[in-house]
Amino acid sequence: MILYLGSVPIIVPILFHTNEVFYFFDILLNQSITYQSNFDLLKYGYCLGLIALLFFKVKKLIPLYGLLLINFIFLPPLLSFILYFCFHHSIRHYLHAMGDTNIFSSHVNVTKFAIMFLVLTILFTIIVLTYMSEFSNLTFENIIIKYIFITLACLTLPHLLLNIIYENKISLK
């Protein structure tokens, strides 16, 4: 069940925006990828399976996954991916962290901490994008796509490991 729900941000854009997603794969891999572009049966079967899973197992998630499906089906893949990570995934983790007194001590001003990391992230992004545009022969669009996905890939494993460590500490208490 969790694997099916977690696959939505990856699978739905591939099924509904195949050309655009494989264009990103082409840029990231520096080669052209051939693929079958007719996913109609798989597309509707996947969505029906998701709706059935939600309806029969976790009805309280129907509004959330309804919005996610609308996001990933009707918006361009890069925009829907950014919206998902910025306004769903990140905010959910941030709110969870804010409610846990074990993560931040009362002496830490979390707002200043978050603003500092936001400023550092923006500065790092500007430096990297400037450097890449100066010293590579890539278009700015290709640089942005590579930067976004490589950075997310670099953050994914540490994020996953931190969540596992945190959840194990909580379950041991």
pLDDT for 73 equals: 94
**DSSP per-residue string spanning 52-109:** HHHHHH-GGGHHHHHHHHHHHHHS-HHHHHHHHIIIIIHHHHHHHHHT-TTTS-TTS-
What is the identity of the amino acid at 46? Y
pLDDT for 48 equals: 92
pLDDT tens digits for the chain (173 residues)? 788 888 999 999 999 998 899 998 898 888 888 877 777 888 889 989 999 999 998 889 899 889 999 999 999 998 898 888 878 777 776 666 666 666 656 666 767 877 888 899 899 999 999 998 999 888 988 898 888 888 888 877 877 787 777 777 666 66
Both tokens of 83, joined, read 């919206």
As a dihedral over the C-alpha atoms of residue 51, residue 55, residue 57, residue 60, rounded to 10 degrees, the angle is 110
